[in-house]
Amino acid sequence: MPSVSLPVHLLAAVLVATSIAAIAWRAHSLSGSGAFAAIIVGTAAMTSGWRWGALLVLFFITSSLLSRVRRARREDVTCGIIAKGGTRDAAQVLANGAVYALCAVLSVTLEGLASQQLALAALGALAAATADTWATEVGTVFGGMPRSIATWRTLPAGTSGAISLHGTVAMVAGATFIALSAAALGLATSVPLLVIAGIGGALADSLLGATVQERRWCATCERNTECRIHDCGAATVLVGGCVWVNNDGVNLVATVLGAAIAMLGTT
């Protein structure tokens, strides 16, 4: 692309990303901060090429649609457990999309093997984000009583680190969807590698959620929770994990691991 066309290309990317973010904000899929973060991530992806932007849009649309399936039940079973609801804020958007967008930009900026590796890293990151998101959305409302990936004890639906059969199937489906979509768009040639990267990142997310992510207890309600201030208004106490590791941090690490697994597949 000639350098003189770069400002026009950037402007088009900003307009498209802003339009999609505005629609998502109006649909209550994104908060105000989430919409702003989505503009940044979306612009970065689209300046890398329309195919990178299209793949990100596919992730967002499918994840948003899944979040609306049996939404009332999801809100009911996760009430008082998860710290954030279905409307995604900036931290959630960046945790799921920042690694993808950054690697996509670098892949078209650099040349040779580095470009190929970064392209795979971007796809691995998005495969992991999709696998984890689909697993959470499906497993929460269809998975019954899930079990901890670390201890195999039953846990309430929506608890970080909990897995179920339905959620696991959705995890594999999410990774496969991104891998096949990337191949259809001409961004990838190795579908199995991206599926493995997506599953690996999502499983790591569950393991970190069960071990490292902060786990809290509300003495008033006698319930486990991720909230620092519970729905009842009482302050909760730390009973496990690290106080500075929340779900957004775990999601970010999962995308990094997905990217790393995909990159290692080229060596």
CA separation for the pair 140, 159 (Å, rounded): 9
| Secondary element (H or E) of residue 225 | strand 223-225
pLDDT in tens, the chain (267 residues): 344 466 777 888 999 999 999 999 998 899 999 999 999 999 999 999 999 999 999 999 999 999 888 888 888 888 888 888 778 999 999 999 999 999 999 999 998 889 999 999 999 999 999 999 999 999 998 877 899 999 999 988 888 999 999 999 999 999 999 999 999 999 998 999 999 999 999 999 999 999 999 999 999 998 889 899 998 889 999 999 998 899 999 999 999 999 999 998 766
- What is the rounded end-to-end Cα distance, in angstroms, of the chain? 30
Give the residue from 267, 240, 234 showing the smallest Cα distance to 114: 267
Give the residue from 134, 129, 128, 130 showing the smallest Cα distance to 66: 134
Give the residue from 82, 91, 83 showing the smallest Cα distance to 30: 91
Phi–psi pair at 188, nearest 5 degrees? -145, 150
For residues 155 and 161, is the Cβ–Cβ distance under 8 A? Answer: yes
149-152-155 Cα angle (round to 5): 85
Angle of helix 112-142 relative to helix 50-68, nearest 10 degrees, comes to 10
- DSSP 8-state class, residue 228: S
Q: Can you give the residue ranges of every domain in the chain? A: 3-264
pTM: 0.93
